[in-house]
Amino acid sequence: MNAKRLDVLSILTYSLLFFTVLIVLLHFVFGFQYVVILTDSMEPNINPNDLVVTRPVDPDQLRVGDVILYRVTIGNSTYRITHRIIAIENTSNGYYFRTKGDNRNYPDPWQVYPDQVIGKVVLVIPKIGIIWYYTPIIVLGIFLFIIASIAYDLAWLLLEEEPIRPKSRKADLLVLRRKKIKVYHHRR
């Protein structure tokens, strides 16, 4: 029974480690972005608390109907928005994208230029965004638990009294032998 539980825990641990390395590798090496959707603008295809995975893309390869992640500055704030391309407009200076949320009746009031595009949506993972959003808190909690466990073990080690060392068998035999000698000596 213990071996089975150990095997399941090992598989679970290695799987978790594999997925963590994969996520970090995709982000830092290949530039993938992970975004938690906060609004209902893309319902029913992408819902609030869904995790959206985007990959970098050359803006020249984007077509009408693609869902993209882009950066837009409104006032002093910069937002990352995930919406669908509904048109590609050409101007004398180049081109820009017109975007719209699937759940909206009107297009976005801004133009999205190629340098604002972060990536194209390649995967939507439903409801995982809740866990992703709280990942820093979960990691901090695990880290604090590990530190507390180590501190407890160290305190236990330092405060524990040293056990009384058992006498060696050789010492016991010598004492017994001396007693026998004394007993015989007094009998005479």
pLDDT per residue rounded down to tens, the chain (188 residues): 455 555 676 677 677 778 878 888 888 888 898 888 999 999 999 999 998 999 999 999 999 999 999 999 988 999 999 999 999 999 888 899 999 999 999 999 999 999 999 999 999 999 888 887 777 887 788 788 888 888 888 887 787 766 666 656 666 666 666 665 554 555 55
SS3 state at 35: strand
What's the confidence (pLDDT) of residue 64?
A: 94
Q: Which structure tokens are listed for 83?
A: 């919406």
> H helices of the chain, where?
2-28, 129-133, 135-159, 169-187
- Picking from 40, 39, 68, 37, the residue whose alpha carbon sits closest to that of residue 133 is 37
Q: How many Å apart are CA 120 and CA 107, to the nearest integer?
A: 19
Q: Is the pTM of this model over 0.85?
A: no
Q: Which structure tokens are listed for 50?
A: 């869904």
CA 142 to chain centre: 11
What's the confidence (pLDDT) of residue 136?
A: 80
SS3 state at 179: helix
Category of 114 on φ-ψ map: left (φ > 0), alpha (ψ -120 to 50) or beta:
alpha
What's the confidence (pLDDT) of residue 1?
A: 47
Write the single-letter amino acid at 66.
D
Residue 65 contacts residue 98 (beta carbons within 8 Å): no
Could you give the C-alpha distances from 24 to 34, 82, 136, in angstroms and in order?
A: 11, 22, 14
